[in-house]
Amino acid sequence: MDARKTAALSFCLALAFSGAHAQKVGELGTPITHEQFALWDINVLPDGTGLPEGEGTVTLGEALYQAQCLACHGAKLEGGIGTALVGGEGSLATEKPLKTIGSYWPYATTLYDYVRRTMPFQTPQSLTDDEVYSVVAYLLHENDIVPADIILNAESLAKIEMPNRNNFYVDDRPDTANERCMTDCLDK
């Protein structure tokens, strides 16, 4: 059999097989349960809504940083493979702004959300809630935002005023006022 006949036969068999086993789009998957949705519903809002129970300390955060973060962010949080986490104060209006936790981030709660979801890079979401509170406490301390003896938890974290918090503005251009693209699938 030549190559064209073999290709045509393969194509016909693939079509026949896929047609026999195809499902209607509406029949794919199963509805999500509240328990399954809860595993993905880990949003932390700027006001602290969504922060979990638990607490952390700067001391434990430093130890975790040394073990989990140093390889990417540097021994002094100066950056490397990963971004710098300290410095940058007064640089935002320059040609080369250094956007760090202390110079740019508007909410400490966003830092918690980001670390919880994405770090450590090689194993995201592997830190416990207490460990995330501790790493965040250490990062905030190294940016001179919280004292070394702070016990960071949902209540104390939500109260932190970040240095650059009031330097953001609402983009009120009409083309940015879009409806949310995601809705709670459980309410349907």
Residue 186 has pLDDT above 80, yes or no: no
Which of 131 and 181 is assigned the larger pLDDT?
131
pLDDT range class, residue 64, cuts 50, 70, 90: very high
Domains of the chain from N-terminus onward: 50-166 (1.10.760.10)
Q: Quick one: pLDDT at residue 103? A: 96
pLDDT at position 83: 96
What's the per-residue H, E or C state across the chain?
A: CCHHHHHHHHHHHHHHHHHHHCCCHHHCCCCCCHHHHHHHCCCCCCCCCCCCCCEEEHHHHHHHHHHHCHHHHCCCCCCCCCCCCCCCCCCCCCCCCCCCCCCCCCCHHHHHHHHHHHCCCCCCCCCCHHHHHHHHHHHHHHCCCCCCCCEEEHHHHHCCCCCCHHHCCCCCCHHHCCCCCCCCHHHC
In this structure, of 67-71, 147-151, 164-168, 175-179, the range with the lowest mean pLDDT score is 175-179
Confidence of residue 169 (pLDDT cuts 50, 70, 90): confident
